[in-house]
Amino acid sequence: MVRDGLSGKEVEVFAKAVVNATGPLADRVRRLLDPELPPLLTPSSGVHLVLDYPLKAGLLVPKTRDGRVLFLLPYRGMALLGTTDLPAEPASCPLPREEEVAYLLEEIRPYLGDVSGRVRAVWSGLRPLVGKGETKLLVRDHYIEERQGLYTLVGGKWTTFRLMALDLVERLAKDLGLALPPSKSHATPLLGAGPRPELPLPEETARRLWETYGTLAPEVLALGDRPLLPGLPYLEGEVVYAVRRELARKPLDVLARRMGLAFLDQRKAREALPKVVELMGGLLGWDERERALRLAEAEDGLPGLC
Ligand SMILES: Cc1cc2nc3c(=O)[nH]c(=O)nc-3n(C[C@H](O)[C@H](O)[C@H](O)COP(=O)(O)OP(=O)(O)OC[C@H]3O[C@@H](n4cnc5c(N)ncnc54)[C@H](O)[C@@H]3O)c2cc1C
């Protein structure tokens, strides 16, 4: 039985195999088979702070006082400060813990001084690390488990997603006796890969559009060239593109996971929310009640970005 989390509708689905690629929540899905199954994962929490601190170069602290890695990188005109590897419980919307934020600010103090007033965004995520034990020592390769037709794919990295998908598809083809043509992934460029297009926009907006959408930037621009908020290098066309071409259904899908503004500046993302709801409402046929609901839901979700 599959339930659509947005509409609540349930549909019965028959399949020879089911793939469980739900990242840090994979054990929850496995336990639908058997609640007693021992976990495959030890989720590890990583917190990132975005600082209004223009950097020219990155900084890596390979070993903090408690033996973790700390990095500070130039990130879209700001600085991204982060670490990872605190053991955590699986959660669909992990919130950054206050002590983790304080830890990062304290560890960076010898290099930047007190930057607590420069924090523009804080976010937390869970890495789906395979195995048990100290999170910083766990294997980061991916792993496939088969159990009663449920194929669970865990571990891996963003940077290895094609290899993860390839290994899984090849495993399914083998187990189900399907003939597959050789994979073309290694020779297929990522969507939007190619030379930077000319865009009739101020440089900051043009560069941002290019960095976000690559060669698809002109297509996004054609959907609306008005700034989402005065003075911000984000366009109304991006909302339209996110809804029509990228299946965004909630305001934070757009502001966080498509445009990235909420990952960069949570106050500005909050300011842009009413406009995003207005545009999405028009595109998706939301009535006043639904608009108010989506706005309130996004305002509540902003601290965890979900
Ligand atoms: C803070 C942080 C920084 C990281 N930095 C890097 C990095 O710099 N480079 C790198 O390579 N990797 C990085 N990673 C690791 C990378 O994010 C993960 O390894 C990768 O996302 C795992 O991919 P996945 O597809 O297995 O899981 P995910 O990307 O987590 O995808 C799982 C999906 O399943 C969905 N889902 C969950 N439950 C259900 C359900 N019941 N029904 C339907 N859908 C469901 C979720 O919404 C999600 O979209 C980082 C991770 C964190 C937390």
| Number of domains observed in the structure of the chain | 2
Identify whether 242 is part of a domain: yes
Long-range contacts, 160-165 (Cβ 8 Å, 24+)? 162/186
Q: Which residue, of 134, 160, 190, is where some domain finishes?
A: 190
- Nearest alpha carbon to residue 146 among 16, 43, 306, 58: 16
- Examine residue 140 and state whether it is found in any structural domain, yes or no: yes
33 lies in the same domain as 172: yes
Q: Which atom of ligand 1 is least distant from the CA of 24?
A: 30
Indicate if 151 and 258 belong to the same structural domain: no
What is each CA distance from 154 to 85, 148, 183, 245, in whole angstroms?
A: 17, 17, 21, 28
Same structural domain for residues 183 and 207?
no
pLDDT higher than 80, residue 136: no
* Same domain? 155 vs 233: no
* Mean pLDDT of the residues in the chain: 92
Q: 227 CA distance to ligand 1 centroid (A)?
A: 31
From 3-7, 110-114, 288-292, the region with the lowest mean pLDDT? 3-7
Q: How much is the average pLDDT of 145-154?
A: 96
Asked whether the predicted pLDDT for residue 135 surpasses 70, the reply is no
Q: DSSP for 202-223?
A: -HHHHHHHHHHHGGGHHHHHTT
Tell me which residue has its CA closest to atom 49 in ligand 1: 22
Measured from the CA of 126, which atom of ligand 1 is nearest?
53
Is 94 in the same domain as 231? no
- Give a yes or no: residue 103 inside a domain: yes
Give residue 130's pLDDT: 82
10 Å CB burial of residue 137 (0-12, 13-18, 19+) is exposed
Q: Which of 29, 37, 86, 78 is nearest to 56 (CA)?
A: 78
Residues 216 and 179 in one domain: no
Q: Cβ–Cβ contacts within 10 Å for residue 59, how many?
A: 14
**Nearest atom, ligand 1, residue 48 CA:** 1
Among candidate residues 157, 190, 223, the one where a domain is terminated? 190
| Whole-number pLDDT of residue 125 | 85
Determine, yes or no, domain membership for 219: yes
Minimum-distance ligand 1 atom for the alpha carbon of 123 = 1
Query: What CATH number is attached to the domain comprising 254?
Result: 1.10.8.870
Q: Which residue has the higher pLDDT, 274 or 64?
A: 274
Host domain of residue 21: 14-190
Is 6 among the domain residues? no
Q: If we measure between CA atoms, which residue out of 246, 232, 304, 233 comes closest to residue 280?
A: 246
Tell me which residue of 254, 244, 235 sits closest to 295, measured CA to CA: 254
Q: What six digits make up the tokens of 267?
A: 């106050």
| Ligand 1 first shell, C-beta below 6 A | 21-25, 29, 46, 48, 84, 125-128, 156-159
List Cβ neighbours of 257 (8 Å cut-off, separation of 6 or more): 248
Determine the pLDDT at residue 187.
93
Query: How large is the average pLDDT for residues 202-228?
Result: 96
Per-residue DSSP letters for 122-136? EEEEEEEEESSS-GG
Distance (angstroms) between ligand 1 centre and the Cα of 24 equals 7
| Residue bearing the CA closest to ligand 1, atom 42 | 22
Residues 6+ apart with CB under 8 A from 131: 41, 42, 138, 139
User: What ligand 1 atom has the least distance to the C-alpha of 29?
Assistant: 41
The reply to whether 229 falls in a domain is yes
- pTM above 0.85? yes
* Least confident window among 35-39, 83-87, 142-146: 83-87
For residue 137, what pLDDT is reported?
47
Using pLDDT thresholds of 50, 70 and 90, give the confidence band for residue 134: low
- Determine the Cα–Cα distance for residues 31 and 212; give it in Å rounded to an integer: 37
- The CATH number given to whatever domain includes residue 70 is 3.30.9
Let me know whether 142 and 269 are in one domain: no
For a pocket test of ligand 1, which of 18, 127, 250 has the largest count of ligand atoms closer than 8 A to its C-beta? 127
User: What is the Å distance from ligand 1's center to 113 Cα?
Assistant: 33
| Interval 219-231 mean pLDDT | 96
**Whose Cα sits closest to atom 31 in ligand 1?**
23
Q: Is residue 3 part of a domain?
A: no
Atom of ligand 1 nearest to the CA of 82: 1
Give tens-digit pLDDT for 197-211: 999 999 999 999 999
